[in-house]
Amino acid sequence: MHSDRKSVSMSETDAIVFLMGTAGNSQWREPIKAACAAEGISAFDPVVPNWDEAASRREAEALQRAQVVLMAITAETASLGALAESGWTALSALKRHQALGLYVDPNYVASAEPQAEAQQANMRATAVLEDASQRARKLVIQHAARLVAQFPELNIYLAKDLADLQAWAVRTAKARLSPSIRQVAQPQQAALAAYRERHQAPPLCLAYAPGRVNLIGEHTDYNDGFVLPAAIDKAIYIAANLREDDLIVLHSLDFDSEVTFPLARLHDDSLPAWTRYIRGAIALSSSIALLHGQNPNRLRGMNLTIAGDVPLGAGFSSSAAIEVAMFEALSALLGLSLTQTQKALLGQQVEHHFIGIRSGIMDQLIAAIGKADHALLIDCRSLEATPVPLPKGVTIVTFDTGVRRELVNSEYGLRREQCEQAARLMGVPSLRDATPELLAAKRAEMPEIVARRAQHVLDENARTLAAVEALRQGDLTKVGALLNASHASLSQLYEVSIPELDLMAELARQQAGVYGARMMGGGFGGAVIALVADEAVPQVIERVSAAYTAQTGRPCTPYTAKAGMGSGVIYLGGAG
């Protein structure tokens, strides 16, 4: 958006609120920015003095990252294009599961400046434009109201005026802001102690599920491919028991927050964002109970106290750990007989239908079935898992970039759509069934970007299987080279890396004792994983951390991990 007026714009593109709509000399953004700033909420104003390609890139990235999008068409906007843009904004926001606030002034107010003689000849054309603008505004408002009424589950708000839009934006952004996260020492004991203190009784059970690292095999799971993750010795713990009423009393030590709500509000997105995974698992439990011959309407309230030491938002799949731990707890509380694979599949359903991310199965499955001192080669089509021993003398080290991205606000879904498109164009059920020869034969028939996505998946599957053989042979140099190649592919072909991840991986590779390094997780933020010789770990951590902070100004948080066991539940005898 271009304007001749000066505007204070954010240099960062990770703002919570994005301010779309009328530009020009309109001042509607200023009160909203001030209100957001007063509440500690970051807002991105796309209006800049000089519009160029760099500004366009910043706007696109900020819009993609925002959690709340405001679209305001004020009275001075005559452009029908701006009104049409409101529809595109709505579709874009809904696809990313962003909250959308829309305000369209029902009236167009033409400029009050005197008309020059040359302009008076165009008065009839101006009148036609005014009439078209009035009718377009009316249509946009009617259609938006109909959309809100027909689909109340969508997070769309039709504001009655700019003050109403401002109040909604601040309220919604505050609900979506992640509170400060604290690292809980000894989370198992902490969860039990906090539960007893809050409820003056022991819980019925303590459920747990680990985080994970993925050695190699990224963005292959939703393509029915191969992955090589390992559960880690860090986990989410949930102390749980049933209540006699319908209240969910949810206490998170990590977020230092407690929320109480009735079962009827399981789908209420005004509740804090950190409760979504727990609410999604409970919501699915009614269907699970029905399948097990129980009355789903007899679902009772629960006391749940949660603590963990899985780093949040850094690519360790803390969300999958929460989901699987919840199904461990629900199985114990409701007396459900679920296999470990079923718990993983249910966790995936939470992602698909409650969070809005069409994730693969890897994260939940490794959380449920991990094996100590082993990685697991998982066939994401058959769900067959083959243990692969990890060689002695090497440590898994991860370096957290400090950059956080929610997959639902990234291009994760778009990558999946591009993979499905590539499979259709090659006439195969999924990219798992494609071969390099088939891709070469069909490449000219598909968009180049789609071909690049497919190339990554085919190569990554091959790298994963090669890494398994190299680990079995103890060839860590070969494993490291495969990790390096995986990162290059994720950065250049799949385009899910960011400069911080590229830098961190390169800094790690420069150190003696590092066999290889690559970005880990869905991308657009998070951590880098490296295989490091045991004796080199302290020096590598010190040098990589110092160099990263010196070049980016961001702190680097290193973690060392050992391959641990999968999820489970400990019964403690509290009354249920």
What residues act catalytically? 363
Strands of 534-573 (E only): list them.
557-561, 568-571
- 359: annotated binding-site residue? no
Tell me whether residue 370 is annotated as binding.
Answer: no
Asked if residue 574 belongs to a known ligand binding site, the reply is no
The answer on whether 222 is annotated among ligand-binding residues is: no
11 is in an annotated binding site: no
Does the annotation list 314 as a binding residue? yes
DSSP letter assigned to residue 375: E
Q: Find residue 235's DSSP bridge partners.
A: 210
Q: Cα 172 vs. chain centroid, distance in angstroms?
A: 18
Say if residue 76 carries a ligand binding annotation: no
Give the torsion through C-alpha atoms of 542, 543, 548, 554, to 10 deg: 20
In the block, which residue shows the tokens 């718990």? 343
Amino acid at 408: V
Beta bridge partners of 514: 532
- Between vectors from CA 305 to CA 302 and to CA 308, what angle results, nearest 5°? 140
CA 43 – CA 63 distance, rounded (Å): 11
Q: Is 218 annotated as a binding residue?
A: yes
**Who contacts 60 (Cβ-Cβ below 8 Å, separation ≥6)?**
none
Residues ≥6 apart with Cβ < 8 Å to 458 = 431, 434, 435, 436, 439
221 is in an annotated binding site: yes
User: Is the distance from CB of 529 to CB of 311 less than 8 angstroms?
Assistant: no
User: H or E stretch including 326?
Assistant: helix 318-334
Instruction: Provide the token pair at 263.
Output: 């079962």
- Please answer whether residues 284 and 350 qualify as being in contact, where contact means their C-beta atoms are separated by less than 8 angstroms: yes
**Which of 278, 554, 265 has its CA nearest to residue 402?**
554
Instruction: Say how far apart CA 510 and CA 513 lie, in whole Å.
Output: 9
Tokens of 289: 């109970």
Structure tokens at 144: 């938006």
Q: Does residue 315 have a known ligand-binding role?
A: yes
CA torsion sign for 534, 535, 540, 541 is positive
Q: Compute how many other C-beta atoms are within 10 angstroms of the C-beta atom of residue 98.
A: 22
Distance CA 241, CA 575 (A): 8
Q: Which helix (H) or strand (E) holds 240?
A: strand 226-242
Tokens 């880098």 belong to 528
> Is 42 annotated as contributing to ligand binding?
no
| Cα separation, 136 vs 79, whole angstroms | 10
| Closest-CA residue to 281 (of 258, 304, 260) | 304
Task: Supply the DSSP string of 139-171, one letter for each residue.
Answer: HHHHHHHHHHHH-TTS-EEE-SSHHHHHHHHHH
The answer on whether 252 is annotated among ligand-binding residues is: yes
> Binding-site residues for Mg(2+), please?
319, 351
Binding-site residue positions for ATP? 252, 313-319
Pick out the residues of the known binding site for substrate. 218-221, 412
Binding-site positions read 218-221, 252, 313-319, 351, 412
